[in-house]
Amino acid sequence: MKALVFNKFGAPEVLTSAELAKPVPGPDEVLINMKAVGLNFADVYRRKGNYHLEGEPPYILGYEGAGIAAEVGSGVQGIKAGDRVGFADVPHSNAEYTAAPAEKVIPLPDEISFETAASVLLQGLTAHYLTSDSYKIKEGDTALVHAAAGGVGQLLVQIIRLLGGKVIALVSTNEKASIAKSAGAELAFVYNDDWKQKVLEATDGNGADVVYESVGSTLMDSFDATRIGGTVVFYGMAGGDPVHIDPRMLMDTSKTLTGGDLWNVLTSREERISRSKTLFKWIAEGSLRIAEPARFALENGAEAHRYLESRKSTGKIVLIP
What digits encode the pLDDT tens for the residues 25-65?
Answer: 999 999 999 999 999 989 999 999 988 788 889 999 999 99
Burial of 113 (0-12, 13-18, 19+ CB in 10 A): middle
Q: Is the pLDDT of residue 312 over 80?
A: no
Supply angle C-alpha 204, 210, 212, rounded to 5: 125
Task: Tell me what pLDDT residue 241 has.
Answer: 87
pLDDT digits (tens, 9 = 90+) for 59-113: 999 999 999 999 999 999 999 999 999 999 999 999 999 999 999 999 999 999 9
To the question of domain 139-259 being in CATH 3.40.50.720, the answer is: yes
Tens-digit pLDDT profile for residues 164-217: 999 999 999 999 999 999 999 999 999 999 999 999 999 999 999 999 999 999
Model confidence at 317: pLDDT above 90: yes
Mean pLDDT of 280-303: 95
pLDDT for the residue numbered 53? 82
Q: Assign 238 a pLDDT band (cuts: 50, 70, 90).
A: confident
CB atoms near residue 178 (< 10 Å): 14
Residue 21 DSSP code:
P
Non-local (6+) Cβ contacts of 251 within 8 A are none
Burial of residue 278, with CB atoms counted within 10 A of its CB: 0-12 exposed, 13-18 middle, 19 or more buried: middle
Q: How many helices (H) and strands (E) does the chain have?
A: 9, 16
Q: Residues near 150 by Cβ (< 8 Å), separated by ≥ 6?
A: 214, 314
Is 240 a residue whose pLDDT tops 90? no
User: Does 313 score more than 80 pLDDT?
Assistant: no
- The closest alpha carbon to 217, from 189, 196, 239, belongs to 239
Over 90: is that where the pLDDT of 237 sits?
Answer: no
Q: What is the pLDDT of residues 121-168, one digit of tens each?
A: 999 999 999 999 999 999 999 999 999 998 899 999 999 999 999 999
Secondary structure (3-state) at 236: coil
What's domain 2-121+264-320's architecture?
A: Alpha-Beta Complex (3.90)
Tell me what pLDDT residue 17 has: 96
Alpha carbon separation from 58 to 14, 43, 55, 262, 313 (Å, rounded):
11, 15, 9, 28, 28
What's the pLDDT score for residue 79? Answer: 97
- Res 200: pLDDT: 98
32-51 residues labelled b (16+ CB within 10 A) or e (exposed): bbbbbbbbbebbbebbeeee
β partners of residue 95: 3
User: Domain boundaries in the chain?
Assistant: 2-121+264-320, 139-259
